[in-house]
Structure 1
Amino acid sequence: MQNKKTYTVEEAKRALENYCVYQDRCHKEVEEKLAKMGMIPQACEVIILHLMEHNFLNEERFSKSFARGKFRIKKYGKVRITQELKFRNISDYNIKTALKEIDENEYIETLYNLSSQKWESTKESNFYKKKKKVADFLLRKGYESSLIYEALSEYNQS
């Protein structure tokens, strides 16, 4: 049997401070980390409270940086970002706040760029099948269907 490292509350606080400093974290990630460390629920409460009081753990900051990062780096749409944040138990208020971080013009421009790149790279001779493949790709990325069909209306059957 493996000897699992045990932590005092102070050691766990320091470890979690470093964990949160490295990258913004949500409560769910911190709770999972504490569970892996084998901390008891009372200790977890004390540690999470400490992290929040000292601004290591800030759900609003996390959701804003998450939304910016997923949009700019992975080119995710608002639907996908919302789903990912809900999966992390982020409040609706913080999700709305996070989505405001995305510039509307940049969002539309990104959607149009993605659709044209995907259109060019899709090897499908049937026009309707090609349109469906591109639309499905954009839906998986998390863009709203109304915006996708607007973007794809630029392509006419030739």
Structure 2
Amino acid sequence: MQGPRTYTVDEAHKALEHYCAYQERCHLEVQKKLQSMGMIPIAIDTIINRLIEDNYLNETRFAMAFARGKFKIKKWGRQRITRELKMRDISAYNIKVALQEISEDDYQKTLYALAEKRCAAIKETNSFKKKKKLVDYLLYRGWESHLVYEVVSELVDG
């Protein structure tokens, strides 16, 4: 019976180049991937440094792509995006840069469209319960509470 596959530093580096070229990755993902490949800490550091030097790994670029994608595709608010980036050990500076990818105009329009769509889908007749369901939904998606309450009162009380 054969044990787990072992990699040389060069083989692991090549594999991680493909891993990073396929989609933007953060340092934490790359580190976990290398650990799962059985690489020792010194090899992990060496490979990560080479990936950064060769521009396969760039946390600012990752954070910007992450924020754009989660906002446009999943309709997440700034708070959820910030929380998710923090969980990936992204610096406060890179989070700030990433959030600038979202225009204020798009942000407002997206929140309103999302709230409208969800409001129409909630089959609750009691306006208080309907409001609560809509607020909970939007807060869970990471939209700021003051914006959520504004849009919900406009839609439900209208």
Question: How many Å separate the matches in 2 of 1:8 and 1:86?
Answer: 32
Q: Name 1:93's counterpart in structure 2.
A: 93
Q: Name 1:51's counterpart in structure 2.
A: 51
Q: Please give the per-residue CA displacement for 1:15-73, whole angstroms capped at 9, x wherever unaligned.
A: 00000000000000000000000000110111000000000000000000000000000
1:70 and 2:67 matched: no
CA-based RMSD: 1.1
Q: What is the one-letter code of the residue matched to 2:146?
A: S
Q: Name 2:31's counterpart in structure 1.
A: 31
Question: How many Å separate the matches in 2 of 1:155 and 1:117?
Answer: 11
Q: Name 1:133's counterpart in structure 2.
A: 133
Question: How many Å separate the matches in 1 of 2:126 and 2:65?
Answer: 40
Q: Name 1:22's counterpart in structure 2.
A: 22
Q: Please give the per-residue CA displacement for 1:64-91, whole angstroms capped at 9, x wherever unaligned.
A: 0000000000000000000000000000
Q: How many residues align?
A: 158
Q: What is the one-letter code of the residue matched to 2:19?
A: Y
CA shift for structure 1 position 155: 2.9
Q: Do the aligned residues in 1 keep the contact of 2:131 with 2:156 (CA within 8 Å)?
A: no
SS at match of 2:57: coil
Overall identity of the aligned pairs, in %: 57
Structure 1 residue runs of 4 or more that deviate by more than 6 Å after TM superposition: none
Q: Do the aligned residues in 1 keep the contact of 2:116 with 2:155 (CA within 8 Å)?
A: no
Question: How many Å separate the matches in 2 of 1:50 and 1:23?
Answer: 17
CA shift for structure 1 position 112: 0.4
SS at match of 1:108: helix
1:81 and 2:105 matched: no
TM-score (norm 2): 0.97
TM-score (norm 1): 0.97
Structure 1 alignment gaps of length 5 or more: none
Q: What is the one-letter code of the residue matched to 2:97?
A: T
What is the 5 A alignment of 1:96-111?
96-111=96-111
CA shift for structure 1 position 157: 4.3
CA shift for structure 1 position 152: 1.2
SS at match of 1:153: helix
Question: How many Å separate the matches in 2 of 1:10 and 1:138?
Answer: 46
Distance 1:144 1:128, change over 3 A: same
CA shift for structure 1 position 154: 1.1
Question: How many Å separate the matches in 1 of 2:72 and 2:114?
Answer: 12
Distance 1:24 1:105, change over 3 A: same
